[in-house]
Chains A and B, each alone.
Chain A
């Protein structure tokens, strides 16, 4: 098989063996869930419930504000205990609905399957996606219905399902592709119909050969759907790199996938869209990988949104040693958390727990100008130069070197023999430049 890829990138150890053979387990609803009303990029939701209200599974508890927003639903049935601002992952303080579960998981009566896909038109599908509170489940959490509503001058030809799962440790997407490829492909077909796309692609890295085979088996020959075998390389699952590998087209600098006629969806998102279509149930649970050297029994879990990290860890046999770092997502792009009491959100693709040794931040030494970061940057930036300008507070120069094009994949920091905080300083440059632009617009 001919494996496709992009230029640049790195080969971190994949560390997936702890969970790659573990079938997805469903975790029972916890006694209490904390559901943040802001789990997406865009405007936060307004609560539609009050303390002491009874709620059922799938009931909307947060109403979206504006187009770029996504509703929030109850993941358990029970009583609303509290509607209050609480600290959640990523150092944010967000209004949350705390629901005490009655343990019955009673489904809201409005939750009904959506007839047949043939009878639904584009508008109805997008409305279904919007009502389900769908967001990019790979971690970006951009509202899916917005992606599926491009302006008329940008027709979408191709839908790509991102099954690269190039982040080390994570295996949730892989297990999903192995265990239920039919539903995944159904999800792809629904998305294709929603934008009138002519072809669908499922990009899977070569280290998941069995997933490639499984997905291939459920695709009929006549269908305009292809499985694209990708080289195992990080960041193969980054949107621009995935699009280039699959279609040979580069998304323009500052542009969006729709500029080259493509929409990319994560495996988890496509699966959830199919599930919503089959059952009517909005996005209230997700599959996430709980792993790392501190976890007694690493697992792939189907969990209710709002379950705390702590409960996940307990379900996986608890901590085997003192945790040093808790990460939402993978080790390359995931976000470190300061407590294990935070809830799982729509975009939490993994919970990775490092011990104290793995958590140590290496001491940076002088840059030796080896130019490895330039060789591997998948956007062809000069990370060392942008970083130097950022650290010297010369932001206009950092901007001139295209700091804003950085996709924050972290390959530069990973490869650096001097352990320089390259991405960290580029992030500082990006946010400073953006803040300056906003100021100028005013």
Chain B
């Protein structure tokens, strides 16, 4: 026959899901926290978010052009990285900090290691750590919400070295809704949880990593304080735990593949975070914890391959 028939391996139909839809869902899930950042920290936040996102997308397009690779910015993954970097910054930083962070995340952590899905650690988190280590003062200068930008301490610095919430610390409710000093996007646990619920509902992430990670931190802080629930709740809703557990630790490329692996990884993240927060020199430990567990992911994957169908029976027989 004259027509050209396509002969290919089955299946001949595909789900209409795609990488850009998955990444688009992550962006949608981050909208509440992004709007929250702009509400609490005003124009400054908006500018920093725009700088981070635009730099991330441009950096990806530029490095791919330079290396003569197909430009894949339409898959939205650079937007997610840029957005996460901005939300991980103090609203007081200069505009060039997010730009440097985005370029480092995209060019060094993501593209040099092979691009989408090949990064061995979360690019946004690696950028946050780079910026914190390089410009420690700028990165840890916190301000209170509102237009006047009065410098303020983060809730976590109040409980550092304590086993109960001291007097004078921001209220638990303020910490929960985000009306406190801290990174732009990590302050409001409420808005991050709304986005997280959306991601779980859309099956973009499974609930295992965030639930086990937050649960482990809750349990350990509870133990450390001799079952002081307020102290535990303070740890759970403050700092980078929510954004880390829901949006960063769940990064596909740098977290384990199987459910069992995800649980082990999340327990590891939780133990490390609680250890750094309680015993370490830093008030916050989410970033380092996740990066360390990112590096352990290939090892976890190796030892958590699921038992296959009919395998258990065979051994019993």
Q: Which residues of A contact B (CB under 8 A)?
A: 10, 12, 91, 168, 240, 250-255, 322-327, 331-341, 352, 354, 358-362, 365-371, 374-375, 378-382, 384-385, 401-402, 405, 408, 410-411, 413-419, 421, 423-424, 427
CA A367 – CA B305 in complex, angstroms?
18
Knowing A323-B5, A336-B8 are in contact, say whether A370-B252 is a contact too (CB < 8 A).
yes
Would you call B13 and A12 a contact (CB within 8 A)? yes
Chain B proximity of A258: nearest CB distance (Å) = 14
A379-B309, A416-B14, A417-B22 given; 13 more Cβ-contact pairs under 8 Å: A10-B15, A168-B13, A323-B5, A324-B3, A324-B6, A335-B10, A337-B7, A341-B1, A354-B12, A358-B12, A368-B117, A385-B305, A405-B308
Would you call B253 and A369 a contact (CB within 8 A)? yes
Would you call A368 and B252 a contact (CB within 8 A)? yes
CA A361 – CA B10 in complex, angstroms?
11
Dominant SS at the A interface?
A: loop
Residues of B within 8 A of A354 (CB): 12
Residues of A within 8 A of B6 (CB): 324-325, 336, 359-361
CA A381 – CA B308 in complex, angstroms?
6
Which residue of A255, A382, A416 contacts B310 across the interface (Cβ within 8 Å)?
A255
Residues of A within 8 A of B312 (CB): 250
Would you call A382 and B305 a contact (CB within 8 A)? yes
CA A231 – CA B173 in complex, angstroms?
46
Knowing A331-B11, A340-B1 are in contact, say whether A366-B116 is a contact too (CB < 8 A).
yes
Residues of B within 8 A of A332 (CB): 10-13
Most chain A CB inside 10 Å of its own CB: which residue of B77, B253, B305, B317: B305
Which residue of B1, B3, B22, B308 contacts A368 across the interface (Cβ within 8 Å)?
B22
CB-CB contacts below 8 Å: B80-110 with A: none
Name the CB-closest residue of A to B258. Answer: A374
Residues of B within 8 A of A415 (CB): 15, 17
Would you call A252 and B10 a contact (CB within 8 A)? no
Interface flags for B11-43 (1: CB within 8 Å of A; 0: not) read: 111110111011000000000000000000000
Which residue of B255, B309, B311 contacts A240 across the interface (Cβ within 8 Å)?
B309
Would you call A374 and B257 a contact (CB within 8 A)? yes
Would you call B72 and A365 a contact (CB within 8 A)? yes
Would you call B5 and A339 a contact (CB within 8 A)? yes
B118 beta carbon closer than 8 Å to chain A:
yes
Residues of B within 8 A of A402 (CB): 308
Which residue of B11, B75, B117, B309 contacts A333 across the interface (Cβ within 8 Å)?
B11
CB-CB contacts below 8 Å: B284-310 with A: 301, 305-310
Which residue of B3, B21, B77, B317 contacts A323 across the interface (Cβ within 8 Å)?
B3
Chain B proximity of A369: nearest CB distance (Å) = 4
Knowing A253-B314, A365-B75, A401-B305 are in contact, say whether A427-B9 is a contact too (CB < 8 A).
yes
Identify 21 residue pairs between A and B in the complex whose beta-carbon atoms are under 8 Å apart, listed by A's number. A250-B313, A253-B311, A255-B310, A325-B8, A331-B10, A332-B12, A332-B13, A336-B10, A362-B14, A365-B75, A365-B116, A366-B115, A380-B307, A405-B308, A410-B11, A411-B11, A414-B14, A416-B14, A423-B10, A424-B8, A424-B9
Would you call B15 and A366 a contact (CB within 8 A)? no
Would you call A250 and B14 a contact (CB within 8 A)? no
Chain A proximity of B235: nearest CB distance (Å) = 29
CA A302 – CA B18 in complex, angstroms?
40
B114 beta carbon closer than 8 Å to chain A:
yes
Which residue of A333, A337, A379, A385 contacts B10 across the interface (Cβ within 8 Å)?
A333
Dominant SS at the B interface?
A: loop
**3 tightest A-B CB contacts, nearest first:** A410-B11, A424-B9, A379-B309
CB-CB contacts below 8 Å: B144-181 with A: none
Would you call A369 and B257 a contact (CB within 8 A)? yes
Residues of B within 8 A of A423 (CB): 9-11
Contact-residue bracket for chain B: 35 or more
Would you call B310 and A240 a contact (CB within 8 A)? yes
CA A421 – CA B11 in complex, angstroms?
10
Residues of B within 8 A of A417 (CB): 15, 17-19, 21-22
Chain A proximity of B208: nearest CB distance (Å) = 11
Residues of A within 8 A of B77 (CB): 368
Knowing A368-B252, A369-B117 are in contact, say whether A327-B15 is a contact too (CB < 8 A).
no
Name the CB-closest residue of B to A368. Answer: B117
Residues of A within 8 A of B206 (CB): 375
Residues of A within 8 A of B308 (CB): 253, 379-381, 402, 405
Would you call A380 and B10 a contact (CB within 8 A)? no
Would you call B5 and A414 a contact (CB within 8 A)? no
Which residue of A168, A371, A411, A414 contacts B252 across the interface (Cβ within 8 Å)?
A371
Knowing A323-B5, A368-B22, A368-B252 are in contact, say whether A414-B75 is a contact too (CB < 8 A).
no
Chain A proximity of B248: nearest CB distance (Å) = 15
CA A370 – CA B115 in complex, angstroms?
15
CB-CB contacts below 8 Å: B224-258 with A: 252-253, 255, 257-258
Most chain A CB inside 10 Å of its own CB: which residue of B7, B255, B310: B310
Chain B proximity of A402: nearest CB distance (Å) = 5
Chain A proximity of B213: nearest CB distance (Å) = 17
CA A434 – CA B12 in complex, angstroms?
25
Residues of A within 8 A of B307 (CB): 380
CA A402 – CA B308 in complex, angstroms?
8
Knowing A371-B252, A380-B308, A382-B305 are in contact, say whether A414-B11 is a contact too (CB < 8 A).
yes
Would you call A252 and B13 a contact (CB within 8 A)? no
Residues of B within 8 A of A418 (CB): 18-19, 117
Would you call B13 and A374 a contact (CB within 8 A)? no
CA A338 – CA B14 in complex, angstroms?
21
CA A362 – CA B12 in complex, angstroms?
10
Interface flags for B253-287 (1: CB within 8 Å of A; 0: not) read: 10101100000000000000000000000000000
Name the CB-closest residue of A to B13. Answer: A331
CA A423 – CA B7 in complex, angstroms?
15
Residues of B within 8 A of A380 (CB): 306-309
Knowing A366-B114, A369-B257, A417-B21 are in contact, say whether A405-B309 is a contact too (CB < 8 A).
yes
